[in-house]
Amino acid sequence: MRKTPASRKAAARQQVFDALGTLKIEIPSWGFADTGTRFGKFYQDAAAIDLADKLADAGQVHRLTGCCPTVAVHVLWDFKPGEDPAAVAALAARNGVKIGSINPNLFQDQIYKHGSFANPDPAVRKAALAHTLHSVELGKKTGSRLLSLWLADGINYPGQDNIAARKERVAECLAAVHRKLGPDQLLLLEYKPFEPAFYATDVADWGMSCIHCKKAGKKARVLVDTGHHYTAQNIEQIVAWLLSENMLGGFHFNDRRYADDDLTLGSLDPYQVFRIFNEIHQHAHDNGGRPADIAYMIDQSHNDKPKVEATLQTVANAQELWAKAALVDRDALAHHQKNTAQIDAEELLKTAFFTDVRPLIADWRRANKLPPDPLAAHRASGYEQAAAKDRAARRKALGITQTAGGYA
């Protein structure tokens, strides 16, 4: 029976509503702080000073979008030594959010000059492992399920270290971390081809992360940062492979053109993000409708945009592209694929991609008692002006100067 335009429209509406209902996006605490490039930072009055500010900002985002219930935290930047994790969890709760993935910091301390888990010096590896195991404990105490691990390890010059030996050292540390994971905890291992190391990174690509995770144990999964690929690499294919191997743990979303540019998700190549989402919807479709267990996290550097605005824009982009990907007619697609009807298959994707879902998303928001345009609502709320005023005053009181640390 052919569908009428009205029934098609109602079906699309339902698909969008269903899709949006399943998408939870984790916001990084560091997305609300001043960040920059090696050439310096451009400071904002409203940038968060401490974890309380960050959780307040995250709360504002969740209040307006309804889909960002958790906040990724960076242990070094967000937890004070000796602080009670339960108090942190409570602080989050007061802001309407929860502590999400725990990110150990294995790159900032001076001891990590030549690496953390891969360091030739056993004392440094021991310290790195202790910090990571402490992060596992923080996860247990804050109710966070995910340990999100980025190793900045690598070497800058040929010959600097033995690549196979470094691999072995990393494997040993990961195994040690895995042994301490709680029954529900997952270890997510990020990969990155370069920066801050420029000759060889110890976990450089998805294949390396995947091999490490399979060896570490059943609770280890690959973390895909969309900005951590070689130029021209097909990310959606990697996603499809990891899904088929049951090794995809989550994403760090952002956009890029050259390096790890950490730009707003979908700002440069929205069709690629759509295709990534399309693979995820396809995988669920091919597996009886059961969505894979994936953590959708943002990792961007809002160098010059207002932080909360940039986060709201990102979330809106993610929702739009996720909803569009949900609209792909999968039965028709399977039919065209069987017949290698390339143009028809392509057009199905394009039709979904270019469907204007913004009105439907606004409807969904209204149905969920959310503002139909979160960015406009945020601007109308006066939140940023108030934060800027408060935080500027507190910086002054605390003696914090936002002076640009020079490059040299």
Stretch that binds a second copy, among 89-97, 138-146, 149-157, 387-395 (CB under 8 A): 149-157
Please state whether the peptide bond connecting residue 359 to the residue before it is cis, i.e. omega within 30 degrees of 0.
no
Count the residues of the shown chain that bind a second copy, applying the rule CB under 8 A: 113
Token digits of residue 283: 């995988």
Name which of 208, 202, 244, 233 is nearest 223 in CA terms: 208
Distance CA 300, CA 234 (A): 20
- Binding residues for a second copy restricted to 31-60, rule: CB under 8 A: 33-40, 42-43
Provide, rounded to whole angstroms, the least separation between the CB of residue 59 and a second copy: 19
Report the Cα–Cα distance between both ends of the chain, in Å, rounded: 70
259 is a site residue for a second copy (CB under 8 A): yes
Stretch that binds a second copy, among 4-12, 136-144, 354-362, 385-393 (CB under 8 A): 354-362
**Cα dihedral 50, 94, 299, 112 sign:** positive
354 is a site residue for a second copy (CB under 8 A): yes
Q: Which of 6, 122, 230, 369 is in the footprint of a second copy by CB under 8 A?
A: 230
Provide, rounded to whole angstroms, the least separation between the CB of residue 271 and a second copy: 6
134 is a site residue for a second copy (CB under 8 A): no
Q: Which of 343, 369, 397, 399 is in the footprint of a second copy by CB under 8 A?
A: 343
240 is a site residue for a second copy (CB under 8 A): yes
Stretch that binds a second copy, among 127-135, 290-298, 344-352, 385-393 (CB under 8 A): 344-352
256 is a site residue for a second copy (CB under 8 A): yes
In the bound state with a second copy, the residue whose beta carbon lies nearer, of 185 and 300, is 300
Indicate the SS3 state at residue 240: helix
Provide, rounded to whole angstroms, the least separation between the CB of residue 180 and a second copy: 25
Query: Got the DSSP string for 333-371?
Result: HHHHHHTT-HHHHHHHHHHHHTS--HHHHHHHHHHTT--
Name which of 270, 256, 257, 262 is nearest 299 in CA terms: 262
Q: 98 pairs with which residues across the strands? A: 70
Provide, rounded to whole angstroms, the least separation between the CB of residue 263 and a second copy: 6
- Binding residues for a second copy restricted to 278-307, rule: CB under 8 A: 278-279, 282-283, 286, 303-306
Q: Which of 184, 346, 393, 398 is in the footprint of a second copy by CB under 8 A?
A: 346
- Binding residues for a second copy restricted to 372-391, rule: CB under 8 A: 375
Distance CA 361, CA 263 (A): 23
234 is a site residue for a second copy (CB under 8 A): yes
In the bound state with a second copy, the residue whose beta carbon lies nearer, of 26 and 181, is 26
Distance CA 117, CA 174 (A): 8
Distance CA 106, CA 125 (A): 10
125 is a site residue for a second copy (CB under 8 A): no
Q: Which residues, at least 6 apart from 222, have a Cβ–Cβ distance to it below 8 Å? A: 188, 189, 191, 206, 209, 210, 213, 242, 247, 248, 249
Token digits of residue 365: 């928001």
Stretch that binds a second copy, among 6-14, 87-95, 138-146, 200-208 (CB under 8 A): 200-208
- Binding residues for a second copy restricted to 311-330, rule: CB under 8 A: 313, 320
162 is a site residue for a second copy (CB under 8 A): yes
CA angle 268, 257, 25 (to 5 degrees): 55
In the bound state with a second copy, the residue whose beta carbon lies nearer, of 144 and 254, is 254
